[in-house]
Amino acid sequence: MRTDKNTDNMRDMSHQAFAEFGSSNLVYVKPVIARDVMDDLSDEEDRQITAHITDETVLYALHAADGVRLALAGDRDLAFAAARQNEMTPVSVH
């Protein structure tokens, strides 16, 4: 049985290394409910901008491969445009 050396190396990767593998410019776009993310906004300016958003508003979060949220957008198209403008490749997560 032939073993691919690259596959063997991937088996030995840490969880963090695997999460970052080949994804330096990949971002995941995921719909989120505003009430689930509003408490994360600590800046007063952010809170003023989002004052018109209700708890049930659907926002779109952009996440790095390791799960860190990079940004929030008001709609999916804006999230994809922001990613591309920052030389990232967006993909949908459902």
On whether residue 22 sits in a domain, the answer given is no
d(CA 46, CA 25): 25
In a domain, 21, yes or no: no
Q: What are the C-alpha distances in Å from 35 to residues 19, 40, 54, 56, 57?
A: 27, 10, 8, 7, 8
- The answer to the question of residue 38 being in a domain is yes
User: Is 16 a domain residue?
Assistant: no
Q: Calculate ∠ Cα 9-17-41, nearest 5°.
A: 165
Residue 12 inside a domain? The answer is no
Look at the chain and report how many structural domains it folds into. 1
Residue 32 is predicted with a pLDDT of 94
Q: Is residue 20 part of a domain?
A: no
Which residue range forms the structural domain that includes residue 74? 27-92
Please tell me the predicted confidence (pLDDT) of residue 44. Answer: 63
- pTM metric for this prediction: 0.69
pLDDT at 46: 62
Average pLDDT for consecutive 10-residue bins of the chain (94 residues)? 50 63 80 86 63 85 90 92 94 86
Return the pLDDT at 42. Answer: 64
The per-residue pLDDT for 91 is: 94
Domain contains 18:
no
